[in-house]
Amino acid sequence: MPELTTSSIVIGIDVHKYAHTAVALDCLGKEKERLTFSNDELDKCVGWLSRLGSTENLLIGLEDVNGHGFHVAKRLEEKGFSLIYVPPVLTDRERAHSVHKDKSDVLDAKRVGKVILHKKEETLPATWSIPQEKEHIRAIDLLLQERRDLVREQTRLKNQLHVLFHQHYGNGYRKGFASTFSLKALSWYTASLKKETSYLARSILRRIERLELIYNQIKEIDQTLYEESRHVPAISKLSRNLRGCGHLTACKVVAEIVTIFRFLDRDKLAKYTGIAPITKGTGRTIRVHTNPYGNRKLNQAIHTIALSQIGNRSLPEARAYYEKKLSEGKSKLWALRCLKRQIINRVYDILTN
């Protein structure tokens, strides 16, 4: 990521679905020019940026590089501009700490630029601007988003069916099956309910049909994830070398990290993940607190690995480390956080080698 100099020009872009607003600032934060353009006028934006100065002196900040800002980010990356992802929380803080609380597209674009000027160390290179496998990683990310939505819907349907099965079959509806929602069990329920014409039976059948459809769609997505992940070496490196990290979890980790070279060291990655604790000190008193921030999706994936490493099929070294932290007087949750820090360090080492 280019360093700020007296020749740097920072451009903040406030992205929307149909129109985007860009504001160019000099190194002191003074506005130079502004531009409003749409996704159909991206060449207009490229031309405007080219007139502002040489490409190496331009730093472009976007809040959204995967949603409404996807087309802007892709075109500017293709033209060789340096893109920086500005987390929305930073622009919100910029507004909160401003004397003027007004909000407009121009002001929001200015705030994006000022975040780069004042808090560049808290930003990251836009994910589009680095990895060679970016198309495959984006596809994996979209598949994971769809899979998460399907799993949520699956859970909702199962909860509804538990209630309806109890109403129809009574307390013994779970007996006879190892899993209430296995394909064998669903097949039996379907055959049983098709003989009935009550509204309750029909309601259950419709939900079972939707649940079976979700099963098939999740299976299809998992197969597509496997095919796409073959083009991303980092996924296979993680799943092979990190105990407790299965293929799906490796996909989740890489989809959020994108490329390990966005992070200068282990500490930066741990902070980004929300695993490194927050230190609060004054005078002689220094306390550490759980970090509720960071990338929660990545944090959840590391949490899954940690639970696997200390579970029934545990990793002896991880289990010993966890037990050691417990013997030091730490709570189970805090000991697990310590283990997660070791795991994220291991992830960094695997992906940088």
Residue 89, pLDDT above cutoff 90 = no
Residue 129, pLDDT above cutoff 60 = no
Residue 331, pLDDT above cutoff 60 = yes
Is pTM, for the whole model, over 0.85? no
In the predicted model, what is the mean pLDDT of residues 10-33?
93
Residue 66, pLDDT above cutoff 70 = no
Q: Which residues contact 11 (CB under 8 A, 6 or more apart)?
A: 22, 23, 24, 25, 49, 52, 58, 59, 60, 61, 113
Give Cα 284 distance to the centre of its chain.
Answer: 37
Q: Yes or no: say if 24 and 34 are a contact pair by the CB < 8 Å rule.
A: yes
DSSP state of 3: P
Which CATH homologous superfamily contains domain 9-129?
Answer: Ribonuclease H-like superfamily/Ribonuclease H (3.30.420.10)
265-275 pLDDT, tens digit per residue, is 999 999 999 99
Residue 127, pLDDT score: 57
Q: Which helix (H) or strand (E) holds 306?
A: helix 296-309
Residue 128, pLDDT above cutoff 70 = no
138-180 pLDDT, tens digit per residue, is 899 999 999 999 999 999 999 999 999 999 999 888 888 889 9
Domains of the chain by residue range = 9-129, 134-231, 236-352
In the predicted model, what is the mean pLDDT of residues 288-305?
92
Residue 131, pLDDT score: 57
Residue 132, pLDDT score: 65
35-53 pLDDT, tens digit per residue, is 999 999 999 999 999 999 8
